[in-house]
Amino acid sequence: MSNEPFDLKRVKQLVELMKANDLTDVEIKQGDLQVTLRRASQATVLSNVPVAMPMTLPVPPAPASPSVAKPMPADTPEEPANTIVIKSPMVGTFYTASSPTSPPFAKVGDTVTPEKTVCLIEAMKVYNEIQAECSGKIVAVLVNNGEMVEFGKPLFRVATG
């Protein structure tokens, strides 16, 4: 692990420890930096702020776009045959496009390849391109633009057959 107090791997490990031990809050301070992790019913809130200057990060509202499909509930009891679920590799904020005026990276009906970027996840002010890592056709977008996602949360359903 690096000596940086808040590298992404360390934050992921903390989130996994919180889940494993059913913790709802963890707060870590080092020098003038502080990380507070809180688990809610469906979201984990990350804040990396100086102790003397607390602040909250705004979550932009999801823009209404006719080209983006309505998300399906993530708690579907059975996965349809011949589908793969693309899951979030990290905790952060899910974005369908690089900006509010840009077209979505992937929408229902699009064909994807393993290298195709399907969304962005912003974690600690870093935008991470998430690739499909599979081939097929997007059949469902499972989260809303601007929604907080946890590690392992289903993002897309892809038909492979």
62 by Cβ neighbours in 10 Å (0-12 / 13-18 / 19+) ranks as: middle
Distances (CA, A) of 121 to 78, 95, 135: 26, 6, 20
- Closest by Cα among 97, 87, 91, 90 to 67: 97
Q: Encode burial over 9-29: b for 16+ CB neighbours within 10 A, e otherwise.
A: eebeebbeebeeeeeeeeeee
User: From CA 161, how far away is CA 153, in angstroms rounded?
Assistant: 23
Q: Which structural domains are found in the chain, ordered by start?
A: 8-50 (no CATH), 83-159 (2.40.50.100)
pLDDT digits (tens, 9 = 90+) for 89-112: 999 999 999 888 999 999 999 999
- The pTM of this model reads 0.51
Q: Which residue has the tokens 């907080």?
A: 148
- Closest by Cα among 121, 56, 52 to 88: 121
Q: With 70 as the cut, is the pLDDT of residue 56 above it?
A: no
Sheet containing 126-131: give its strands across: 126-131, 117-123, 92-95, 148-149
CA 41 to chain CA centroid, Å, is 15
**More confident of the two residues 121 and 39:** 121
Q: With 50 as the cut, is the pLDDT of residue 86 above it?
A: yes
Token pair for residue 76? 């579907």
pLDDT at residue number 60: 57
pLDDT digits (tens, 9 = 90+) for 9-48: 777 777 777 777 666 666 776 666 667 776 654 444 444 4
